Structure 1
Amino acid sequence: HLLRGEHQLELDAEIARWTRGQTVDELLGVLDKAGVPAGRIYTAPDILGDPHYRARDMVVEVPDPSLDGESVPMPGVVPKLSRTPGAIRRGAPLLGEHNDEILGALRTTSAGRR
């Protein structure tokens, strides 16, 4: 659990009051100028819009068969390993796409046990 100081609630309220009227970029600028280590906490839209995530393949575009092959963004493979880097070859299957394959294999397995 987190230890809370005697004035933690007051401090949290004061920080909230100070930050409420500023953008993240403004706040980071003020904190940087004051020598306070700080960084952005990314939202999903922040991640999708950050070119560094895409440059590092942390966001990849994958064709979606339910959208007539239109690509959709999805998370890349983590961690990046040199000998076995991993890859995303396709998106998620459509509902029921593999039913015949799976049920056929189950029927074959079941028939062999009788």
Structure 2
Amino acid sequence: MYTIVVGVDTDVERARTQAEAIVNLPGGEEISAILVHVFDSEDGDVESVDAVVEARAILEAAGIEVTTEGIGGDTGMAILDTAARRDADCLCVAGRKRSPTGKALFGSVTQDVIMGAERPTLVCSTEE
């Protein structure tokens, strides 16, 4: 089984793009996905996040085994920690177009994950 940790934020379109990219990977029937949503605090119901619900529906319709985790804390570190804890084979994050100034001022979860990952990382974008 090939395990992918998928960092899902609240954007439904980005979650749909991530799920469709995973569905289109070769060997889909041998993939399991862990959908991770990071909350501002320890409290939160991951199953009530629309983007998680959308990604789960797409993945399960394709026969991919799906589990979910809702975690509190720093988003990038939480995704990386989940991947290490679950011994994931790959990470999947969704990028979005930001200016260099925006990245410098606000940071980028995608960039944090890419720079901190010790395993392959699939970056999906909804940009044309």
Q: TM-score, normalised by structure 1?
A: 0.23
Higher RCO structure (Cα 8 Å, ≥6 apart): 2
Q: TM-score, normalised by structure 2?
A: 0.22
Larger Rg: 1
